[in-house]
Amino acid sequence: MLEIFKYIVIIAVVAYLLKLAFGLLFMYLFDNPQKRGEDYEERTAGRLKHAFNVPVYRNLLFNKYNEEEASKQGLTIEEHEALMAAETEADMVFVNRKGIFCIECKSRKDGSDVMTGNLNQSIWNVSFDQLQNPFDQNYKHVKAIYEAGITDKSCVYNIVITNAGFKFVYCGLDKDSSKEPYFGMLRNKSEMMALVSDGHGRNGIRFFEKDVDNLPDILTDSEVESIREALKSHVATKKERKRHARLMEETH
């Protein structure tokens, strides 16, 4: 009887490992970066909404390019291209009395991937790949929020959230997500940024939440509501997102 039980346990373990192996193989062979990114953004938005008890606005378009209106203005090709390139999409934004948090999400299919870089590098390394400095990328969205007249206060934070690990160098100090999945400079008025590793066993949003909670209030309740209403007008429709994706293909 004991022998039979041992065989049943062995078969169950082998079946589980085979299921896990085939699942990982399927993920690598049929990985869809766009779908994976959207799924991670949705999960992240849900976690932020739960952590901060606030609405989280996703896929916000700023400096929208209107081809019909631009054509009426008799612009040159270069001016058209400049307007097209100015349009930008923020992954998500939320607001509370502490400020406006503009978030760039970076999803990797392998949780063991590690992003390596610093604020001054335009290109970061991630495993055997490279990507644009995510803080530079998100700064365009931060700048667009100010340019849209949504606030006249210095209160927009540049936040990068990733499911990968990170090795981030700041002022000569190495910040490693294997030691702590969060690095923030929220009180530094010249940078106002944070790097959060959340996913694959890391829980950086918990550290991020605590750091934000300790910030002084910048906005009043009425200002928070006014900013939220303004942000709603920038949330892209499905049609606008498809048009923006085509626009990015043409300009990059």
Q: What does R_g of the chain's alpha carbons equal in angstroms?
A: 21
Q: Which domain holds residue 65?
A: 31-251
Model confidence at 41, pLDDT cuts 50, 70, 90, reads very high
Mean pLDDT of the chain: 84
Q: Residues 98, 26: one domain?
A: no
| Selected residue with higher pLDDT from 178 and 1 | 178
**Per-residue model confidence as pLDDT tens digits over 162-210:** 999 999 988 878 899 988 999 999 999 888 999 999 987 789 999 999 9
Longest dimension (CA), the chain: 87
Which residue do the tokens 């400095």 mark? Answer: 133
**What's the pLDDT score for residue 149?**
95
CA distances from 163 to 2, 39, 94, 113 (A): 44, 12, 19, 9
Model confidence at 240, pLDDT cuts 50, 70, 90, reads confident
Both tokens of 91, joined, read 């992954």
Both tokens of 245, joined, read 């994706």
Q: Residues 59, 12: one domain?
A: no
Model confidence at 252, pLDDT cuts 50, 70, 90, reads low
Euclidean distance between CA atoms 104 and 195, whole angstroms: 10
Q: Residues 11, 115: one domain?
A: no
Q: Residues 6, 88: one domain?
A: no
Q: Residues 133, 17: one domain?
A: no
Tell me the pTM: 0.81
Number of domains, the chain: 2
| Selected residue with higher pLDDT from 73 and 171 | 171
Question: At residue 216, what is the residue type?
Answer: P
